[in-house]
Amino acid sequence: MAVTILIVEDELAIQELIALNLKRAGHMVLCADSAEQAKKMVNNVLPDLVLLDWMLPDMSGIEFARKLRREDRTKAIPIIMLTARIQESDKIAGLEAGADDYITKPFSPRELLARIKAVLRRRLPEMSDEIIEIGGLRLDPTTHRVHVYANDEPEKLSEIALGPTEFRLLHFLMTYKERVHTRSQLLDRVWGDHVFIEDRTVDVHIRRLRKILEAVDKENLVQTVRGTGYRFSVECNEESVE
């Protein structure tokens, strides 16, 4: 699945090479050559992942990673450190600063893409291209299609037509099944950061999603937890469903 990746690298040749390969892989790319420029970009658009060079002209990548981890808005962004430092102590310092992975230069584009995919799968599973099958539903992020098993028989599938927002909402809820998410959390993770819409917008799309699932008798999978938010669950609890 395409994601937005911020490259923080002051060596222009390396920055351009990484950006080229990421774009070829279908990702959206932002580039910064300093921590200050990167911070301004993050303030405008929250990336899904940061590729962060250790040596920057105005601040070390280690210090910048710590800054990202200290702020509520950026603390969950996956970070991959890029550096020529190969000592074990340096790797430990990078990981302790909040990096999710550590890649030493030089590295191949294939290795970088594989590491990015692994980090996203671990930290942001809703960004994964893996097919999810729960409760008689089969969601394919690559084709943006959702199927339901006819009478819960795996060999008999029928497609459900979902709008793009309902698809993203269902994908997120299925990825984190059984977890309860507040409306604010859903707005941030499904609609995106810096999208200024009201919390009740979530309720509208939840109702639309349930209406679609009702046609295949799956509306009870999307549950309301009173006073908190919503969850996807195969366990029917009448007290938590509205």
pLDDT digits (tens, 9 = 90+) for 198-237: 778 899 999 999 999 999 999 999 999 988 899 999 886 5
Residue 236: both structure tokens together: 């029917």
114 and 136 belong to one structural domain = no
CB 200 within 8 A of CB 150: no
The string of pLDDT tens digits covering residues 149-164 is 876 566 678 899 999 8
CATH code, 113:
3.40.50.2300
Work out the percent of the chain whose per-residue pLDDT is above 70: 90
- What residues make up the domain containing 197? 132-240
One domain, residues 42 and 69: yes
- pTM higher than 0.85 for the full model? no
Question: How many distinct structural domains can be found in the chain?
Answer: 2
Q: Considering 74, 106, 127, which residue would you say is the last residue of a domain? A: 127
Q: Give backbone dihedrals phi and psi of 163, rounded to 5 degrees, phi first.
A: -75, 165
Are 224 and 233 in contact, with CB atoms under 8 Å apart? no
- Does 109 lie in the same domain as 19? yes
